[in-house]
Amino acid sequence: MQQRKIAMVKQELKDLHELKQLYQPVADEMLVNMGPQHPSTHGVLNFLLVTDGEVMHKAVAHVGYLHRGIEKIGEAVEYNGFVPFTDRVDYLAAMSANQGFAMAVEKLASIQVPERAEYLRVIATELNRIASHLVANGAMAMDIGAFTPFVHWLKEREFVNDLMEELCGARLTYNYIRIGGVAFDCGKELAEKIVKWIDHFEPMVDEFDRLITNNEIFVQRLANVSPISAEEAMSYNLVGPNLRASGVDWDIRRDVPYSVYSKFDFKIPVGKGFRGTVGDCYDRFVLRILEIRESCKILRQALATMPEGEIMAKVPKTIKPPKGEAIARVESARGELFYYVVSDGSSKPLRVKIRAGSFTAMSIIEHLSKGVMIADLVAIIGSLDVVAPEVDR
């Protein structure tokens, strides 16, 4: 074990050395490492900065510190056994990660999910979306110097965690959405608690806007910083809030409907250059605030119209789908989360492939970093809402 650790460290040093060789500085340039322990890199990430004083010429992403081989694990365990692993794809929006894999297997095995279970999936994933955006925007404000908003949002997120715990018994990695339905039902008392919390929370969003979103110092810190045009966003395959902030009106929930989202009335916010250029860091921040408001609307409708019935289809203990392949796309908090699953007819997948939003967001950072201040790199990373497990898997 000790020899293996030494070998891994040597390989990491070799990789970093090779990366530095690719970016040899010219006169008056410096190579500076930001990470992997840096508190503002939203996980175990490293950036090799090529700088001239405080101005960056480029920031080169060096990933792989959190690689766990989760796709390979998917080929080594049975279908039901892989569901808890999907929580670790994105620990801040684990419900969507559960749902994407479950939907792919349900297509393979021709499993029909009960309608009440679909409503419960929507309720769980929208609560989770709110919790994820609270962390994203709170941490972004803290990263660039405003600590108080993060405390406010952590307090609200604790309320969401309490609701999630009452729904499924867990607060972070849920294993709630199962192949064929969901693990537990939502009783009338819990539904009333969720509505009561929304009644309390929506005015808190207004208060948050007064505190930080419309704070003039905060606006000047983010407006016109690293705008991404619609063409650039599509070229770099950005998804979710990062794509919509650039003015691209696209959301999987509406445009490639799944579950019961087609039954709900909600808007898809897009970037408009709220206080600066369309697609800048401020637009990406504001868009998540607007999405939180829309999630509250969806939750109210789902709770008010949820039908009675079963919450789980009749699924065999050992699932053995026929030979074939299936894909599933869900709109996670960080955008499109894509699963590709291949079956060879056995109880274990032949292939599991996951494509996540943070991985594509990382690809544009080098492009955005040219000519901006080192301090702005923190704002760029925060505005893209990069989560390390989605990058490395």
Query: Which band of pLDDT confidence, cut at 50, 70 and 90, is reported for residue 17?
Result: low
Residue 49 has a pLDDT of: 85
Among 64-68, 148-152, 233-237, 380-384, the minimum mean pLDDT is found in 64-68
Q: Is the pLDDT of residue 13 over 70?
A: no
User: Using CA of residue 118, residue 124, residue 129, residue 130, what is the dihedral sign?
Assistant: positive
Closest CA to 167 of 34, 311, 382, 292: 311
Q: Cα–Cα distance between 297 and 275 in angstroms, integer?
A: 25
Predicted confidence band of residue 346 (pLDDT cuts 50, 70, 90): very high
Report the chain's C-alpha Rg in angstroms: 21
pLDDT value at residue 387: 85
Whether the predicted pLDDT of 107 surpasses 90:
yes
The CATH class given to the 78-320 domain equals mainly alpha
Which pLDDT band, with edges at 50, 70 and 90, does 19 fall under?
low
pLDDT at 353 > cutoff 90: yes
Residues 110-164: pLDDT tens digits?
999 999 999 999 999 999 999 999 999 998 888 888 888 889 899 999 999 999 9
What is the reported pLDDT for 147? Answer: 86
User: Distances in Å between the alpha carbon of 106 and those of 130, 165, 191, 235, 349?
Assistant: 26, 26, 27, 32, 13
Structure confidence at residue 177 (pLDDT): 93
- Asked if pLDDT for residue 30 goes beyond 70, the answer is yes
